[in-house]
Structure 1
Amino acid sequence: MALKTQQTVTITGTSEIDGQQVAYFSAQIPQGEGNSTISRSVTNQTLYDANRNQVRADEAEFQGKVYDIEDSLLA
């Protein structure tokens, strides 16, 4: 057997409404071969339901940052 390692970039973010966290975003981006993994956790369902368009916009912005990192690693 031989040791095999992989280095990744981790990025996290939160969506907040009036200073309260509504959702948490996380991504692991491999430096080399492999697929990125992105997850979202709603941490305040009541605020999410009332502000889902804003939270979704924050999620889209987070996804854009992940794409930027992926592109820079491939350049």
Structure 2
Amino acid sequence: MLKGTKSTSLNYSSVINGETAVYMTAQIPESGKSNSSKNIQNKELYEANKTECRKDMAAFDEMLWQIEDQRETTGGTANETEK
């Protein structure tokens, strides 16, 4: 029997002058709760560009919430698949 789960992955970065300041990732299963994280990769770059980085982090959150809301309204599908 084949068992597994399906999920959507988001992997984004807040990039300033070609350098990554913040790395953001999320896993959104077809059913169940999502998991996301944000990691500051370059503290000096983040501190110097906090406003821009926070705009990027807010845009990432909006993207995540939009996918979560879409899954809720469409009901998603079963988290586990058996064949």
- TM-score, reference length from structure 2: 0.78
Q: Which residue of 2 aligns with 1:72?
A: 70
> How many residues align structurally?
73
CA distance in 2, matches of 1:6, 1:20: 34
CA distance in 2, matches of 1:46, 1:16: 13
Q: Which residue of 1 aligns with 2:8?
A: 9
* Distance apart, 1:18 and its partner CA: 1.0
Q: Which residue of 2 aligns with 1:38?
A: 36
Moved over 4 A (4+): none
Identity among equivalent positions (%) equals 34
The structure whose Rg is larger is 2
Instruction: Please tell me the root mean square deviation across aligned C-alpha atoms, in Å.
Output: 1.5
- TM-score, reference length from structure 1: 0.86
* Distance apart, 1:4 and its partner CA: 5.4
User: Any gaps of 5 or more consecutive residues in structure 1?
Assistant: none
Q: Which has the higher contact order (CA 8 A, sep 6+)?
A: 2
Q: Which residue of 1 aligns with 2:46?
A: 48
